[in-house]
Amino acid sequence: DAGVIQSPRHEVTEMGQEVTLRCKPISGHNSLFWYRQTMMRGLELLIYFNNNVPIDDSGMPEDRFSAKMPNASFSTLKIQPSEPRDSAVYFCASSLDYSLPYGYTFGSGTRLTVV
Amino acid sequence: AQSVTQLGSHVSVSEGALVLLRCNYSSSVPPYLFWYVQYPNQGLQLLLKYTSAATLVKGINGFEAEFKKSETSFHLTKPSAHMSDAAEYFCAVILNSGYSTLTFGKGTMLLVSP
């Protein structure tokens, strides 16, 4: 298994631009999670899906953030418009099912820099 | 609700010395507990997990952790540190009843000197 695949690995964009981060979960995993990691706040859960349906998006910081999961093998996290304070590492993770207390498998992350 | 507290944002040891990274949890129901490791510019990798079976859990790379309910702790140890152990370590908790999400501590950076 190739694991959780995220793209791009690095993204540098100008303030005000739209940014789209992508994630392919492990095949057979029903739940997908988006986390953000910063020095100040550590790892924060932004949103998670189960069977492609968003379950809880209360961690999404603002309306500028949106996430979709159109099918079981693909999810996107979009920031529009981007701001310098959005600079962080964004991780996608997947698990068998969030109804089960299993650990998550993480992707390598996308390092976003907004200038 | 659940949470974990990791004591010490940085821990420094010499190569060959004992590694001890501390984690205390708070949970309204019995928890499952995890330790993850993050090497520079990489994602999080699962080291070990406690799922209510044996209280002493062995993981990869010679690490182990012991679940102590009376102390609400799940400290991570390794008898002898290697230079390659230098990384950031995260303790995490999830409710064993399911339908909850993994909550992480702030992380502890382990520094290993020769």
**Residue B107 corresponds to which tokens in the numbers above?**
């992380």
Contact A43 B90 (CB under 8 A): yes
**Which of A18, A1, A47 has the alpha carbon at shortest distance from A114?**
A18
Q: What pLDDT does A1 receive?
A: 65
Contact A105 B96 (CB under 8 A): no
Quickly state the pLDDT bin for B96 (edges 50, 70, 90).
confident
Cis amide bond preceding A81, omega within 30: yes
B43 closest CB neighbour out of A45, A103, A106? A106
Mean pLDDT of chain A: 94
B104 closest CB neighbour out of A4, A43, A107? A43
**Which of B23, B35, B9, B13 has the alpha carbon at shortest distance from B86?**
B13
User: Cα separation of A100 and A38, whole Å?
Assistant: 28
Averaged pLDDT for residues B57-82: 95
Q: What pLDDT does A103 receive?
A: 85
The letter for the amino acid at A95 is S
Work out how many CB contacts closer than 8 A connect A with B: 52
Q: What pLDDT does B95 receive?
A: 80
The answer to whether the beta carbons of residues B6 and B110 sit under 8 Å apart is no
Q: Is the pLDDT of residue A100 over 70?
A: yes
Q: What is the DSSP letter of A51?
A: T
Q: Is the pLDDT of residue B27 over 80?
A: yes
pLDDT digits (tens, 9 = 90+) for A51-95: 999 999 999 988 999 999 999 999 999 999 999 999 999 999 999
Q: Is the pLDDT of residue B52 over 90?
A: no
Residues of chain A numbered 59-88 and touching chain B (CB < 8 Å): none
Q: What pLDDT does B100 receive?
A: 82
The answer to whether the beta carbons of residues A35 and A94 sit under 8 Å apart is no
User: Cα separation of A24 and A22, whole Å?
Assistant: 7
Percent of chain A at pLDDT exceeding 90: 87
